[in-house]
Amino acid sequence: MNPQPVPADYTPVEIDERLENDLRQLVRLAIAEDLDVAVDWTTLAMIDAERRGACQIVSRAHGIAAGIALTPWIINEFDADLDVEVLIAEGETFAPGTPLVRLAGSARDLLTSERVTLNLLSRLCGIATLTNRYVEKLKGSDARLYDTRKTTPGMRRLEKYAVRCGGGHNHRTGLFDGFLIKDNHLALGQSREAGHSDEMPLGAAEAARRAVAMRGGMMKHLVAPSIVEIEVDRLDQMATILLSGIDIILLDNFSLDDLRTAVAARDASGVAVELEASGNITLDTIASVAATGVDRISSGALTHQATSLDLGMDWV
């Protein structure tokens, strides 16, 4: 186990104005998909304008609540004549048949907003539920589970928020809030090391130095991120950057033996750098990866392999 202080982590996604803005933009797009520039013709034909009603969004499966607290913002974008009552806390476990939200008011608005609301909440609850399954596999270890940028376009903050509801942690939100040097940066970069021509590939050690030198600096009115992380796929690369001043080393597709060797080398160095395992992380393998002593495990599966949870709208 790493005895060194834990470095500053990426900023977690929370319920704030940025999350609200992303959600509202997404709901507007979803409404345009459903209504285009027209109306809900079926509901207009079947339901009187004065008809009132109430319903509950109910789970058909076991799951973890995520996005339920955002339902008032979804309904607000419909300009709907509906009262919203949230019935469960974010991150709470629920069983089949559990009411999550109660909606009451215009029967027309209930019907028109039904599918968009269910689609969004089902997606977020599905991500939180899958994340929680991974988190359960980490019990007994000190490893923390992180998401990635492998998210649905336009839904990144929302999906990362759902990961947190499921007990996971957020990796960087985008390219703007952290240095993450990957193999393609090394392949396309040019070396400036003494004695090398500009045509030489960029080495991991120099790449780390460049990012560390820029960390926290100013460029016009922008402040560079404070966290520097670099991806390596070989043990010899790790040895060259261990003392470079970076915060996190991402060990990509390392074998279990190599992960243990990397942890031992870091611990022996006494350097306060965290080790993150990534690549081929599944429910079957994550416990074994955690047992190697790494601090962090990241997996794109939390978002890109999650399936929507089965939610329905039951009339009261």
Binding residues for substrate: 115, 148-150, 172, 182, 231, 252, 278-280, 299-301
252 assigned to active site: yes
Tokens 């034909």 belong to: 45
What is the three-class DSSP state of 312?
A: strand
Q: How far apart are CA 198 and CA 177, in angstroms?
A: 29
Please tell me which residue in 24, 182, 210, 260 is annotated as part of the active site.
182
Binding residues: 115, 148-150, 172, 182, 231, 252, 278-280, 299-301
Which residues are CB-contacts of 112 (< 8 A; sequence separation ≥ 6)? 34, 35, 40, 43, 78, 80
229 assigned to active site: no
Residue-wise DSSP of 47-70:
S-TT-EEEEEEEESS-EE--SGGG
Which secondary structure element, helix H or strand E, spans residue 180, and what is its range? strand 179-181
Which residues are CB-contacts of 80 (< 8 A; sequence separation ≥ 6)? 105, 106, 109, 110, 112, 113
Strands 218-219 and 99-106 come out as unpaired
295 assigned to active site: no
Q: Which of 282, 308, 311 is nearest to 126 (CA)?
A: 308
22 assigned to active site: no
Please tell me which residue in 115, 142, 234, 257 is annotated as part of the active site.
115
Strands 82-86 and 52-59 come out as unpaired
**181 beta partners:** 230
Please tell me which residue in 90, 252, 274, 276 is annotated as part of the active site.
252
Please tell me which residue in 24, 102, 150, 260 is annotated as part of the active site.
150
150 assigned to active site: yes
Q: How far apart are CA 255 and CA 201, in angstroms?
A: 26
Rounded alpha-carbon distances, angstroms, from residue 282 to 135, 226, 288, 300: 11, 30, 10, 10
Backbone angles phi, psi at 44, to 5 degrees: -60, -35
Catalytic residue annotation:
115, 150, 182, 231, 252
